[in-house]
Structure 1
Amino acid sequence: MAGGKPVPIVTAMEKAFKPQPEQIKQAISPRTKAIILCFPNNPTGSLLDKQELEAIADIIIAHDLLVITDEIYAELTYEEDIFCSIASLKGMRERTILVSGFSKGFAMTGWRLGFICAPDYLTQQILKISQFTTISAPSITQYGAVEALKNGQKYIVEMRNSYRKRRNFVVKHLHEMRLDCHFPEGAFYVFPSIRQTGLTSEEFAEKLLIQHEVAVVPGNAFGECGEGHIRCSYATSMKRP
């Protein structure tokens, strides 16, 4: 809407699908305004730890940029104390637009309730667009979110433990099928490579659906560098066939 041009950075499974500091530096131009991060990541399950975020934060500060960080899967990380928000790092609070919601960590998919945390001078501009493009969230949804924040933490722990078991199950069986994949650290997706089959991601996904009635998302749906992969979700119950 504001005439911005997205500049993608290609990530690879060999680097755990994480953008490298040198890649970010090379992508910055005099017109760069902000860097967008989405970790824990959909579709790869990748996660940036504190040390990796600090390296990116140094670049952001050095070039006087903003960061837009999508942390919708923040509650769904599988190693203790590994998640870190870039907003918590020194000098980043006033440079961060944090986007999140209740769909994932609080299992409120369909309620369509999200939020943004940002410095006041930015939220005032965001409101100018929001108030003319969205309708206010229903009151019952907002009350549900308040209850989730107050009393939902123990359920997050239960859900996280359940997802961890499903992740381990899915990755184990993918390896048994000789499909290489990154070990997800967050979210509820795994992004295995299917290059060894000789099929494109769309061909593989279609054959899997028609021949075995298993639905996956072809990797090219997430950009050119997703080709050769498929996204598998492990959000369903282990009790279901």
Structure 2
Amino acid sequence: MYELSKRTSNFSDSVIRRMTRIANKYDAINLSQGFPDFAPPKEITDRLAEVAKMGPHQYAITWGAQNFREALARKHEHFSGMKIDPDSEIVVTCGSTEAMMASMMSIINPRDKVAIFSPFYENYGADTILSGAEPIYIPLVPPDFNFDVNLLEEAFRSGAKALILCNPSNPCGKVFTRKELENIAELAIKYDAYVITDEVYEHIIYEPHKHVYMATLPGMRERTIICNSLSKTYSITGWRLGYVIAPPNIIDRVKKVHDFLTVGAAAPLMEAAVVGLNFSDGYYKELQDHYTHMKKLFVGGLANLGFQFTEPQGAYYVLMDVSEFGVKDDYKFAEWMTANVGVAAVPGSSFFHEDVHNLIRFHFAKEDATLNEALTRLETLKKKVNNAQNIDWR
């Protein structure tokens, strides 16, 4: 038999999705994979019920239904101030995962270099490798997850063609300041590089932090590729509706890559989701208030239990420090905790290029009852660790 692809030979399965399977195995509370346990807005699901009877049920235009793209353009303009042409500057994709992959494949050549902030969402490294490129990692330093501008410049100087920027950041919850974004923009312009932004948590921000759109900074519109999704904003992670916003010359290429990757997003889901894209500002204020409440409940609970963690500024994740338990293998610890405490988290090392094994990631996009039960179970963690025998993660 011919050998398999060398490019993918070192791939593992997704650690996040693996932890969901482990959570299901032990009937644990799943605070690993970031999806809510509450319903999407009723207006969207009511519209979906209508669409199920009336259609559309066939292919939409490959790069997204016209009314969906027009609604996306209006929404993005409303929040960013950017005027978007729905015909030449938007491609609708099967989730932000495909948005990122299609963007990478549209601008990256084999042996190019791509800069990635670490910690990072696990797909970014894989996307870089699938594109045939070499990743260059720039550390975000806890507890504030700041970065050294000199290290970022060194990445661009050494040939990074693009930087992947997740803002707000998964997994650390960092919201990049305007000054930090200006520093990035200055270097991207200086070295003629792209910035690919992942902005799926744009509306999940905790006061006093603010989301600044990279593409709105001077000189960045023409070199910023925005990847986004409806998943988190409207609690429809299973609908897989993502999109790319970029200048026409880039979108023209993304359209072609997307066509051969997935053909198009689901037509009935786009039709139903238009309702959400037309929501008033009140919806987004309620969304922010809802997540602020969940953050206070869960993160406050961790503090009351005496755990150490980094305070999230945006998104719905929190990194908890498990150094006190002498953890040397966070993968084994995460599985042990799932089985013995009944709460699933993601081992932090799956997000870091650096040698970090003392963190686990929880998400808190859950009902109050779910979070309270998770905290009740975590209250037993220290005692169960102390009573455990022959632990193999130390």
Q: What TM-score, normalized by structure 1, do the two folds share?
A: 0.92
Higher-Rg member (1/2) = 2
**1:6 Cα deviation after fit:** 1.4
Q: Secondary structure at the match of 2:165?
A: strand
Q: How many Å apart are 1:115 and its aligned residue?
A: 0.6
Taking structure 1 as reference, are residues 40 and 182 closer, same or farther at Cα in structure 2, changes over 3 Å only? same
Preserved contact between residue 68 and residue 97 of structure 1 (Cα < 8 Å): yes
Structure 2 residue aligned with 1:93, among 218, 221, 224? 221
Find the counterpart in structure 1 of residue 140 from structure 2.
Answer: 11
Query: 168, 173, 181: which one pairs with 1:45?
Result: 173
Query: Deviations for 1:152-172, whole angstroms, at most 9, x for unmatched residues?
Result: 643332222121112122222
Match of 1:107 in 2: 235
Task: Please give the alpha-carbon distance, in whole angstroms, between the structure 1 residues aligned to 2:318 and 2:209.
Answer: 21
Question: What amino acid is aligned across from residue 168 of structure 2 in structure 1?
Answer: P
Written as runs of structure 1 = structure 2, the 5 A alignment for 1:26-65 is: 26-65=154-193
> Partner residue of 2:334?
205
Checking the alignment, whether the CA contact within 8 Å between 1:34 and 1:65 is kept in structure 2 is yes
Aligned 8 A contact 2:175 2:209 in 1: no
Equivalent residues of 2:137, 2:353 under 8 A apart? no
Do the aligned partners of 1:77 and 1:160 also contact (CA within 8 Å) in 2? Answer: yes
Alpha carbons 1:98, 1:117 under 8 Å: kept: yes
| 1:214 matches 2:343 | yes
CA shift for structure 1 position 30:
4.5
Describe the SS at the equivalent of 2:134. Answer: coil
Greater Cα shift, 37-46 or 80-89:
80-89
Compute the displacement of 1:106 (Å): 1.5
- Which stretch of the first structure deviates more once superposed, 213-222 or 163-172? 163-172
Counterpart code for 2:217: L
**Alpha-carbon distance in 1 for matches of 2:148, 2:134:** 20
Conserved? CA contact 1:78–1:186, under 8 Å: yes
Residue in 2 that maps onto 1:148: 276
Tell me what 1:23 maps to: 151
SS of equivalent to 2:243? strand
Residues in 1 aligned to 2:232 and 2:201: alpha-carbon distance in whole angstroms: 6
Q: Percent identity?
A: 32
Give the TM-score normalised by the residue count of structure 2: 0.58
2:329 equivalent to 1:229: no
Cα–Cα, structure 1 residues 30 and 12, in superposed 2: closer, same or farther, change >3 Å? closer
Distance in structure 1 (CA, Å) of the matches to 2:156 and 2:185:
14
Q: How far did residue 201 of structure 1 move? A: 1.7
2:332 is paired with a residue whose SS is: helix
CA contact 2:173–2:313 (8 Å) conserved in 1 = yes
CA distance in 2, matches of 1:156, 1:107: 12
Q: CA deviation at 1:204?
A: 2.4
Structure 2 alignment gaps of length 5 or more = 1-104, 111-132, 374-394
Q: Does 2:210 correspond to 1:82? A: yes
Q: Does 1:167 align with 2:167?
A: no
Code of the residue aligned with 2:165 in structure 1: it is: L
- Is the Cα–Cα contact under 8 Å of residues 157 and 191 in structure 2 kept in the other structure? no
Structure ranking higher on relative contact order (CA contacts 8 Å, 6+ apart): 2
Q: Does 1:126 align with 2:254?
A: yes
Uncovered stretches (5+) of structure 1, i.e. residues with no partner: none
| Superposed displacement of residue 52, structure 1 | 1.4
CA contact (8 A) 1:181 1:192 kept: yes
CA change 1:95–1:37 in 2 (3 A) is same
Deviations 1:187-215 (A, max 9, x none): 11001121232113223212211111101
